[in-house]
Every structure is written in C-alpha cells, then in structure tokens.
Structure 1
Amino acid sequence: MAKAQGGATPKKKQEAGYAFKFPQVREAEPTREGYVSPTYQRYIDECVPALKEAFNYKNPHTIPRVEKIVLNIGLGEAIKQPKLLEQSFEVLGNITGQRPVVTRAKKSIAGFKLREGMKIGAMVTLRRAQMWDFLDRLLLVALPRTRDFRGVSPKAFDGRGNYTLGIKEILIFPEVDIEKLNAVPGMNVCIHTSARKDDEARALLKHLGMPFRK
C-alpha cells in the first residue's frame, strides 16, 4: 500500500452504515424519576406472587423474569432492492428507540443469488428500561391494533423458556409511516426469559398480559 504524503500510512475507511438520527434513541440508561413501566409494575405486583404460588419457588431469585427481547427483520428482497433494507433499518430504530444492527448472510446460496456477507436484514436487542417500554407498546397498543386479532399462539416456545412471536405487518406500531415504505415487512419478536421450562415461561407471559389463544 502506498504511503500518504508525509510518510504516514492512510487508515482504512470504516463502513459508514446508515446515517439516521432516530428521535427516540437513548445513548444511556434513561433517567425518568417517578416513572415506572405499567408492564414492569404488573410484573412486580401480580406476576411474582402468582408465579411463586403456582410453582412453589423457595428462592425469590429463581422466579422467572424477562431478560431481553430481540427484534429481527429479514429481507431477502433486499438483494434486488437495497432501498427496502434502508427503510426497514429506519423503521426498526423508530419503533425501539435504539439503533439497529445490520445482519448479513452467513453462507452463500447460489439458487437465491445470495453471497456470504450480503446485507439481508436488521435487528435490535432490548434490555432493562427499553425492553419494558417495548413490552408496553406491544401488549397495550400494537397487538390490539392487529386486524381480526384472535390472540397469539401459545405453542411458539423453544423448549428453554423463550417465546417467538411473528408479526406479519409492522404497521401495527404507530411509529411506522406507511408513506415512507416501498413494501411492508414483517418482524420476529423473540422474548428471552430466565424460565427453565416452557410452562413457567408461558405462565409468566400470560400474567404480563400476553393474549394467548385458547
């Protein structure tokens, strides 16, 4: 590599990514004195006593809790239409108030014209206050806005206490502006809990207000 003027070796330019400034992004843990998430308050007041009675926990630290929530938008169409990935990146950031991470293909698939390392989606991992804020909007606002909503599947657990919810259209979130989208993507929401069994995780989410189908 040729040296720059003055004998210094030029540094490799880092990948810029998408230069969006999300209005709700929090650089640090929010300081909201006096405010408690309704869903978190429900966990403390209702979930903890109910779970302790139902499963007879001896140690309060073993009572299941929500640890993190991972939101993922996968876009195979982004191979041909890169603009879709940029739009989904912006939408996911506005929904969560946190800057997303671009996901890439782990291997090449010739049939789909997919090469290893290509950008195919965006994801966000939420913890602590951001996690409870998102649960508020999901349970109290977004899911009730779903067309012909009859509840979510009670079987979408992975055997280790984690629940995955598939959302067909992200328009159920009021932060989404349909006029800025060329196509309406779906989204996967994976709720990770500390429960060791699916029955315990199902009871936790049910007491939090997850509308499972009967």
Structure 2
Amino acid sequence: MNRLQVWNRNIVYSDLVYKLNPENLNGMIHLDDIVLKSTINTSVSEPKDIIFGLVALELLTNQKAKVSRTRKSIAAFKTRKFVPISSKVTMRRNRLYSHLDFLISVAFPKWTQLKELERRSLVNSKGSLSLGLSNLTMFPQLTKEYEQLPNDMGITITMNTSNAHTEPELLLLLSEFQMPVII
C-alpha cells in the first residue's frame, strides 16, 4: 500500500465523515481515477507528432498510453476520420495514489507558477477536476528528453471522483490530500 493510500483510508475518510456528515457512508466522496492526456497542436497536420506524447506519458506513468483518434471528419478543424490527435493514460487504485503522491510531493513544488490552485483555474464538470500544464520541466522524468519534445505540447491532468455533488466537496477532498487548493 502506498503512503497516500494509507493516509486516505485512515485520516481523510474519517475527517470527511465529520466535515460532510453524509446520510450514507457508502456514498462518501473518493477518487476514482486520474487521467493524463497529452495534446500537441501540430498533431492534426503531422500525425507522427503523437509519438512524443506517447513517450512522455509512458515516462511519467510507467504505463502504456492509448492513442485517441477522431471519430469523424470535420472540415473546420481540418481533421479526417480516424486520425490520431492525442494520447491518454488512466490510472486507478494503487497507481492512482502513487501518482498523486508524486504530483503533490515532487512535481507541484517545482512548478513556479503554483501558489495555490484557485477555483477559476480548475475546470469542474460533474465530479471531475482538470488541471492543464504547458510547462513540462517540473517532471524529473522528462528533464533529459525535454529538448526533443515539441514546444506546443501540453498535458491535462483530470481527477475523477465519485459522489461529488458540489464543487466545495471536491475541493475539500483535494485539500485533505494536502494539495494547495483555495476552498
């Protein structure tokens, strides 16, 4: 078991029970998965650029990345059907907590723009919270390969939760994991 997983089971869960006072303990808010998605702006015109995103995600997560393709052709975006546009990795259970621990203790302290995560900088949609990163120098796994990565490459980190009915509940859960979130 990971350090953050033990923290979640022993401290966070009981603390959220006192703060949220749920009617049913099985309906308590918890993290389901973390999805990392890499996008490159030139991937529409150059489909081979997806390889950079695949390699970056595999170095960050030690897990095979999946290529996302377009479902249909859209002339306004200059896309064709089944053209690769991005890559993504979904982490659940043990890998979720180990990667969240890595983000909180290693990556976020190296992020110079991070004072605290404000509500308006995070996208919230029905129990998920997304954070877009354009500067990938904060990840120690990518320091050697940073020269070869395209400049317009970005990574979106989405944390999906279950039973998060309101935005303050979601931000309360993340603040329990010692993430610098303004509630």
User: Could you tell me the TM-score, scaled by structure 1's length?
Assistant: 0.76
Q: Which residue in the other structure is 1:162 paired with?
A: 128
Identical pairs, percent:
26
Alpha-carbon distance change, 157 to 60 in structure 1, aligned in 2, over 3 angstroms: farther
Cα offset for 1:125? 0.9
The reply to whether residue 151 of structure 1 matches residue 116 of structure 2 is: yes
1:100 matched to 2:69? The reply is: no
Whether the 8 Å CA contact 1:93–1:99 is kept in 2: the answer is yes
Q: Could you tell me how far 1:197 is from its partner in structure 2?
A: 2.4
1:42 match: 7
Number of the residue aligned with 1:20: none
Contiguous gaps of at least 5 residues in structure 1: 1-35
Which residue does 1:181 correspond to in 2? 149
The structure whose residues are more often strand, as a share, is 2
Contact 2:171 2:181 in 1 (8 A): no
Larger Rg: 1
Distance, in Å, in 2 between the alignment partners of 1:148 and 1:157 is: 17
Q: How far off is 1:173 after superposition?
A: 1.3
Of 186, 193, 211 in structure 1, the residue corresponding to residue 161 of structure 2 is 193
Q: Does 1:123 align with 2:92?
A: no
Query: Which aligned segments of 4 or more residues in structure 1 are displaced greater than 6 angstroms?
Result: none
**Which residue number in structure 2 is paired with residue 172 of structure 1?**
138
The 3 A distance-change label for structure 1 pair 161 and 169 is: same
CA distance in 2, matches of 1:185, 1:146: 16
Q: What amino acid is the match of 2:149?
A: L
CA contact (8 A) 1:84 1:181 kept: no
Q: Which has the higher contact order (CA 8 A, sep 6+)?
A: 2
Instruction: In structure 2, list runs of 5 or more residues that go unmatched.
Output: none
CA distance in 2, matches of 1:159, 1:91: 26
1:154, CA displacement in angstroms?
2.4
Alpha carbons of structure 1 residues 168 and 213: separation in structure 2 relative to 1, 3 Å? farther
1:71 aligned to 20, 36, 49, which one?
Answer: 36
Preserved CA contact (<8 Å) 1:162 1:198: no
In structure 2, the residue corresponding to 1:193 is in which secondary structure?
strand
What corresponds to 1:7 in structure 2? none
